[in-house]
Amino acid sequence: MKAMVLTKLGRVEEGQPPLELVELPDPVPGEGEILVRVSTCGVCHTELDEIEGRTPPPHLPVIPGHQVVGRVAAAGNHAHVFSVGERVGVAWIFSACGKCPACLSGNENLCPDFKATGRDANGGYAQYMTVPEGFAYRIPGGLTDSEAAPLLCAGAVGYRSLQLSGLEDGQSLGLTGFGASAHLVLKMVSYRYPHTKIYVFSRSETERAFARELGATWSGDFGDEPPEKLNSIIDTTPAWRPVVEAMRVLAPGGRLVINAIRKEEVDKGALMQMDYPTHLWMEKEIKSVANVTRGDVSELLALAVEAGIKPEYQEYSLEDANRALIELKTRKIRGAKVIKLG
């Protein structure tokens, strides 16, 4: 099979392709696993975090990619949930132990033995991959493969962020950054909370215009002052400055949810500008999002069908995965990016 493989960590820059196109043997499903013939795989900022060493894979080489849609090609022993040819998806959660207090309480995203697709196990930047059948999802009708792929991470983690925000209909919501996840959150909010005003912060005028096009009440740069203080804010950026600016414009008792697996060091000095009365007083909260559960993925897929939520996306060939990553880093974004195979 063809695969784009990460063999060493390093900065993703023009002229320095991080992934290598190689030919590998087709993987064989083990006990309780299925073999998936990949048709599409979403491109996520987490891949940049893996490649550049902020959340490094435990071993190299590894095949990235954790927003995977394909068809079941074969099943291992005692794998009997899916039929050959059935359409399935694979998300960031590749496996969890199922026995620890976190798993038993429904918080498998916090499992100490959490394994991530495309980091701890080979992912979907390839023609085939294997996954435990209990961590695969039936993809509902009404969604194309390219529409479904970004829902499996960008959508699911956005859904979890929205749940954790405590937002109620009629309250105000801020979104800092407006890439794959945030634009799907906006669509969720427009459906579930029709009386909520949505305020989008981005350094990119292209992203700000895109947000207004999708129905945002207002959009501005990170340091701009919105028309009102905000009850909840979801941060989807890889930087620290938006966190500080978000805390500044939170209403008393408001909550900031940070939807990011890591923050870059480049602007860490922005945290030094945080002061208690401006940013933290009046019972403001900060909450992080750690991974997703299988429940998040299943519920988001059902909501997407119910509400007609579909991502805006751009398609790339497998061979163009490096270009997709570079464009993601340089903020050439309108919705999500999807690798299409075959």
In this prediction, residues 104-122 reach a mean pLDDT of 97
Q: What confidence score (pLDDT) does residue 15 get?
A: 79
Q: How far apart are CA 212 and CA 210, in angstroms?
A: 5
102 Ramachandran zone, left/alpha/beta (phi>0; psi -120 to 50) = alpha
How far from the centroid of its chain's Cα atoms is residue 108's Cα?
17
Three-state DSSP class for residue 123: coil
Provide the pLDDT confidence category of residue 159 given band limits of 50, 70 and 90. Answer: very high
CA-closest candidate to residue 257, choices 293, 286, 292, 237: 286
Q: What confidence score (pLDDT) does residue 279 get?
A: 83
Low-confidence winner among 116-125, 205-214, 273-282 (lowest mean pLDDT): 273-282
Q: What confidence score (pLDDT) does residue 263 get?
A: 79
Three-state DSSP class for residue 74: strand
Q: What confidence score (pLDDT) does residue 13 get?
A: 86
Low-confidence winner among 123-127, 158-162, 172-176, 330-334 (lowest mean pLDDT): 330-334
State both tokens at 185.
């959150």
Q: What confidence score (pLDDT) does residue 258 get?
A: 96
In tens, the pLDDT along 254-273 reads: 999 999 887 777 776 677 67
Q: How far apart are CA 124 and CA 35, in angstroms?
A: 11
Distances (CA, A) of 157 to 15, 17, 103, 149, 229: 31, 28, 18, 13, 25
Q: What confidence score (pLDDT) does residue 322 get?
A: 96
Provide the pLDDT confidence category of residue 165 given band limits of 50, 70 and 90. Answer: very high
In tens, the pLDDT along 7-64 reads: 999 989 877 899 999 999 999 999 999 999 999 999 999 999 999 998 999 999 999 9
Question: What whole-number percentage of the chain has pLDDT above 70?
Answer: 99
CB atoms within 10 A of CB 59: 8
Q: What confidence score (pLDDT) does residue 331 get?
A: 80
Residue 332, pLDDT above cutoff 80: yes
- pTM of the complete model: 0.94
CATH 3.90.180.10 fits 2-152+292-340, yes or no: yes
Low-confidence winner among 81-95, 126-140, 149-163, 278-292 (lowest mean pLDDT): 278-292
Three-state DSSP class for residue 335: coil
Percent helix / strand / coil, the chain, rounded to 5: 30, 25, 40
In this prediction, residues 293-308 reach a mean pLDDT of 97
In tens, the pLDDT along 199-247 reads: 999 999 999 999 999 999 999 999 999 999 999 999 999 888 999 999 9
Strands 172-176 and 93-95: unpaired
Q: What confidence score (pLDDT) does residue 63 get?
A: 98
Sign, CA dihedral 95-100-106-111, equals negative
CATH topology assigned to domain 156-288: Rossmann fold (3.40.50)
